[in-house]
Structure 1
Amino acid sequence: MSEPARRMHLGLTIWPTGFHPGAWRLPGSRNDGNSNPRLLQHAARTAERGRFDFFFIGDRLVGLTASQFAAPNEVLRPEALTLAANIAGITEHIGLITTVNTTYSDPYNVARAAATIDHLSGGRVGLNIVTGKNVEAARNFGRDQHWDNEHRYDWATEYIQVLQLLWDSWEDDARVADTVTGQFVDPDRVHHIDFEGKFFSVRGPLNVERPVQGQIPIINAGASERSRELGAQYSDLRFTNSSTLGLDGAREYYADLKNRLPHYGRSASDQLVVPGMAVYVEESQRAAHEAYTTLQRLLETSPVHRARLSEALGVAVTDAAPDAPLAEVADLAQLSDDGRRIADSARELYGRERVTVAEVNASFIRGGMFKEVVGSPSRVADVLEEWFSTGAADGFMIFPPTVPHGVEAFVDLVVPELQRRGLHHREYAGTTLREHFGLPRPLSRFATTPVGAAAVGSGR
């Protein structure tokens, strides 16, 4: 049997108390996931056992207690670069994508830290570039305002340019270590970058050797036009929430991202598009629906949520009893097109025709973040395969609703099914994150500079 041309790229995103906000309230669950090294390390090792391409570490610079009911993981959050370094020491193969907020950090420090982790991990780190969204973060860094979208992306563009120049400032063979002459470094192969842009003035060079991967992979997300263009120019992987658009919408989104690449001299294979999927999997369809229902009952809702549901359905359910079946309080024939999709999705997720107003409300709230898939291993694999094989995704970022059970369930139940179908590899084909992504190691931009010549980078 011949090997398939494409393999599904899988990443595990770590929300230490579980992606579902009620997960930590289940009997036997942990509520200290954000500061529990054993739990975090176990999740990474489990993903590595499942031959995931990468372990994704999100980050946030504020801890708002008001977020605790909708997103407890956003209240407490381990610092991403530090966690990536820790995970590098206890894993051997899995890539480590660590989030960096460019609006509130300095490119020299980040280039140095990322290059260090790349060496410590043997070439397994990637940087997820975010520009932030919280005004509270601005006040943590001595600013009165959080910059607007255009300013943040102008800044982020220069920031990435500086990162990449600094990673190239040491040529691969700059450390000669000649024991006969005593020369340790060839100064002609270590370069000032002399970057002068609108926001940054950086001379260089870095004081860490060129990363194992040459250039550390760049990842970004976001649906704005600026985000899409930044990704088209620089990103090796685009993380999306296009799963919320439905299969047809996700295909259109995928095509849009891929079609932007040639403008920057890139091909479709130069960038992976990976939507997020929240996966509830158990050994049977019935058990998966029961697990989903149990978690959804722990979801805290408000009158605001019910009002939004009424607007989306096209019929008023604001005053209806939460446990009333939707069909008894609303004329289903009067539902809007979106309303019918919302009701149909709730029936599919709960695994029954008769769903209550509270259940539809809960599934509507959670479905606005990423597509939720509930079912047996074969059912989950069917969904992933359809999206992967019909132009909607190159792979998926998996959001386990619970940790560690949700991680273990996906690896033990879904991964073998994907492998059986030839969609997911059984062994790692390479050792670096670039190799996991199928990307070549680039030459240093300074390597072609004649020895002794000045090498200058500019943001203008």
Structure 2
Amino acid sequence: MVGSPDFLHLAIEIDGAGSHPAAWRAWGHPPEQLLSPRILRSTTAAAEKAGISLVTFADTVVPESAPYPVGRLDAGTRAAYLASTTDRIGLAPTVQTLTTEPFHVATQLAGLDHASRGRAAWVVGADNSADANDAVGFAARSTEAARAEVRDVVDLARRLWDSWEDDAVIRDAATGRYLDPDKVHHVRFSGEFFDVVGPLITPRPPQGQIVVVGDADLGVSDLLDITLVSGRDETAIAEGAARHDGLTFAEIEIVLDDSGQAAQSRLTALDDHATWHDSGRFRFVGSAPEFVDLLRSLTGTVDGVRIHPAVATTDLGVLYQSVVPALQELSLHRAPQVGATLRETLGLPRPVSRYASPSTR
């Protein structure tokens, strides 16, 4: 942990109607609006108004045989769309490492950071399923090869974000010079899976390095800014967090009491339509005060939590009305400020380019 021991960052996953597969039945909108930009914008605006620090967007191939209505736009596209309609919440699309060209990964995320004025993050995706590979004509890797390739992609992205020094762009109209070529560097990455000369085709991101988020099981925590830790109880979360340096966020699925309907009743009604399979995450079912107590107990163990609401509209509404205000009263949460970069919100330093001369570091 590197954050304050008495402070908790909040992130939330927003993908479609919610994390429960039957969420579309209870979210209050027609199923065909799963891909609605208006709904996406309003849900993200509600998260920003609630004081959430970071919103994440899942991204996997949708199986043709899904037993319930499901749809998804590319996570990077959704984040880019929201860059101009938000002003303080971090935007973190899941971008896959095994089925996306690594140079494009780095470029897309750098562009998002510029568009959002320094609020971009990246949830490292490592989908190695047959569906994901078939979609792009790839073959599934072995577990060892997939893990090694994920590491190479994250390492390369970080090198590419550093390939332009902060003052490489000079825009000198008098001489007609746009940039200083001595401050734009070839990364010359050569690995087992790909070779990239570089440099990036966009200037260095406003944050210097985009905030990189990934699951602890990826095995690349040393390259992450935020490690996501799962566990079915508080003890398992604490044990997982203790194994990692840097910021750690607990993964928590929630079903909260709402408008006189008990959380367990809500969950039972959803489960009558579809099974919410065990993901290995902590699953909380209960009242807002009980959830606040849980978060309070995790403070000092992790630096934040990523919340997976069963039904996005319902559970986000309870977070806004009851949970976040209670955390603020306990001085356990602070909303991000307008104009702040995501690194500033999270208390992360802005790194200097690794290619900068020692005199400018």
Partners of 1:443 and 1:407 in 2: CA distance: 37
**2:198 aligned to which of 181, 200, 204:** 204
Question: CA 1:284/1:40 → structure 2, altered by over 3 Å: closer, same or farther?
Answer: closer
More helix by share: 1
Aligned ranges for residues 116-127 of structure 1 at < 5 Å? 116-127=111-122
Measure the CA separation in 1 of the matches of 2:355 and 2:251. Answer: 37
Matches within 5 A, 1:281-320: 281-282=256-257, 287-300=262-275
Do the aligned partners of 1:23 and 1:29 also contact (CA within 8 Å) in 2?
no
Q: 1:87 aligns with which of 82, 86, 89?
A: 82
1:368 to 1:164, Cα distance in 2 relative to 1, 3 A: closer
Q: Could you report, residue by residue, the CA deviation over 1:121-159 in whole angstroms, capped at 9, with x for unpaired residues?
A: 00111111122131122222223x310111112112221
Matched ranges for 1:325-336 at <5 A: none
Q: Which residue of 2 aligns with 1:279?
A: 254
> SS in structure 1 opposite 2:193?
coil
Structure 2-normalised TM-score? 0.91
Superposed CA offset, 1:61-84 (max 9, x none): x22143435xx5xx4221011111
| Structure ID, larger Rg | 1
2:50 corresponds to 1:50: yes
In the alignment, the residues of structure 2 paired with residue 438 and residue 430 of structure 1 have an alpha-carbon distance, to the nearest angstrom, of 14
1:187 matched to which residue of 2? 181
> 1:45-84 counterparts in 2 under 5 A?
45-60=45-60, 62-69=61-68, 75-84=70-79
Q: 1:6 to 1:366 in 2, by over 3 A?
A: same
- The residue identity in structure 2 corresponding to 1:14 is I
Q: Which has the higher contact order (CA 8 A, sep 6+)?
A: 2
**Equivalent residue, structure 2, for 1:101:** 96
**Cα distance in 1, alignment partners of residues 203 and 344 from structure 2:** 20
How many residue pairs were aligned?
357
1:7-406 to structure 2, matched below 5 A, reads 7-26=7-26, 28-60=28-60, 62-69=61-68, 75-143=70-138, 145-223=139-217, 227-228=218-219, 230-231=220-221, 233-242=222-231, 244=232, 246-256=233-243, 258=244, 268=245, 271-282=246-257, 287-300=262-275, 366-389=277-300, 391=301, 393-406=302-315
Provide the C-alpha distance between the structure 2 equivalents of 1:154 and 1:284, rounded to a whole number of angstroms: 48
Q: Which consecutive unaligned segments of at least 5 residues does structure 1 have? A: 259-267, 301-364, 452-460
Cα pair distance change 1:23/1:196, threshold 3 Å: closer
Aligned partner of residue 210 in structure 1, secondary structure: coil
* Superposed displacement of residue 33, structure 1: 4.4
Q: What TM-score does the superposition give when structure 1 sets the normalisation length?
A: 0.73
Query: Could you tell me how far 1:429 is from its partner in structure 2?
Result: 8.2
CA apart distance, 1:200: 2.0
**Cα 1:366/1:422, change in 2 over 3 Å:** farther
Tell me the CA shift for residue 283 of structure 1.
5.5
**Secondary structure of 2:315's partner?**
helix
**1: CA distance between counterparts of 2:260 and 2:281?**
20
CA distance in 1: counterparts of 2:31 and 2:343, whole angstroms = 34
Consecutive unaligned residues in structure 2, runs of 5 or more: none
- Are the structure 2 counterparts of residues 63 and 403 from structure 1 closer, same or farther at C-alpha, using a change threshold of 3 Å? same
Does the Cα contact within 8 Å between 1:284 and 1:375 map onto a contact in 2?
no
